[in-house]
Amino acid sequence: MATTQKDYPIFKKGNLLYEREEKEGYWTVTPKLHPETRELVINFTARKILELCNGKRTIEEIVDEMKNNFPTVSKKEIQKDVYDAIGRFSRLLVIEWMGENPFLYKRETILSDDLALMIAQEDDILRIKKFIDDSNIFQNNRQIEDKSNFFFYKNPFDSPLEYEEVSLRAKLFSFIEDFFLLIKGKEIAGLMSISPPIVSPATAAIIKIIAAPKDFWGDLNRYAYDSLPFVSIRKVTKIKILENTSERINPELEKVLLNEGYKEEGIMEHELGFSNHLRSLAKYYSEAFIEKVEHQRVWKIEG
């Protein structure tokens, strides 16, 4: 993300509902405006970054200050820590901005006069909730398949409770799930959500929800595939879709996935119970694309 000299992050301690000092410089906090994230344990480095967000320093000036405090650490590593911390707390509204918030990143693509593809932001939560509810995606397969002009899919491990408003807020603000939207006019017309790898060294992202018109599914899928590595908080090398073999993926959707470059990765027998297997399809990123992503991440930080 590119920043300008007009962008000043401000740590709003008053936006903490709860705080507690821990041993060895750690700090436990709960954001007031997003208590659903519960307690966050912040290490000394992240706390120092927050304290430097006083409305008088740009992000690059904070990087320089942290470099002075930690001269043996590479600037690239410090830049990553600063951007990760400020981006995370900006989304939790613990950090506010004097100037433009550079972390509001939509990566919008226009398809026609009234159709566009974009990455969901915090103000899209209610629209996402309504669209998921209206799509009845958590109904059984027979009911879903009656909607012949749509592709529907839900991860076999997910439940409707994970897509209530509070849970959706937690997913967006904690970088647990990214939502890629097809917008018609001002309304959501299609959706695909992907959970990026959360814990290192995992690098596989998992498709969680698909609810999209068949005519535009290819556009949405390619948009999500191309955009995810740039917005994920961790390195992504492939995207996977999981199938409960007793509740098969729509054959037409599977055919499209295979045509888009997904390949069967394997079947884990009895993973979901006796004679209930878990099948995985995956699409890999090329090594050249991954290198391009990593290069652009550095360029955006330095540029």
Is the pLDDT score of 4 beyond 70?
Answer: no
pTM for this model (two decimals)? 0.67
Q: How far apart are the first and last CA of the chain?
A: 8
pLDDT in tens, 44-98: 899 999 999 999 999 889 999 999 999 999 988 888 788 878 877 876 778 888 8
> E strands of the chain, at which residues?
8-11, 16-21, 27-31, 40-42, 95-98, 109-110, 115-119, 150-154, 178-184, 187-195, 204-213, 238-244, 263-268, 278-284
Q: Please give the mean pLDDT across all residues of the chain.
A: 84
Helix (H, G, I), strand (E, B) or coil at 296: helix
Instruction: Please report which confidence band the pLDDT of residue 296 belongs to, taking 50, 70 and 90 as the band edges.
Output: low
pLDDT in tens, 249-282: 989 999 999 999 999 999 998 787 787 899 999 9
Buried b / exposed e across 55-74, counting CB within 10 Å, b at 16+? eebbbbebbebbbeeeeeee
* Domains of the chain, earliest start first: 8-98 (3.90.930), 109-302 (3.40.630.30)
Which span out of 6-10, 28-32, 191-195, 273-277 was modeled with the highest average pLDDT? 191-195
pLDDT in tens, 153-202: 999 998 899 999 989 988 887 778 999 999 998 899 999 999 998 777 88
Instruction: Please report which confidence band the pLDDT of residue 301 belongs to, taking 50, 70 and 90 as the band edges.
Output: very low
Is the pLDDT score of 219 beyond 50?
Answer: yes
- Assess contact for 195 and 237: CB atoms under 8 A: no
What pLDDT shows up at residue 34?
65
Which residues, other chains included, contact 36 with Cβ-Cβ below 8 Å and sequence gap of 6+? 166, 167, 169, 170
The DSSP bridge partners found for residue 210 are: 153, 192
Instruction: Please report which confidence band the pLDDT of residue 108 belongs to, taking 50, 70 and 90 as the band edges.
Output: confident
What pLDDT shows up at residue 210?
95
- Calpha distance 149→133 (Å, rounded): 18
Structure tokens at 18: 């709860």
- Calpha distance 80→173 (Å, rounded): 18
Structure tokens at 119: 């990455």
> 214: burial class by Cβ within 10 Å (0-12, 13-18, 19+)?
middle
- Calpha distance 102→90 (Å, rounded): 10
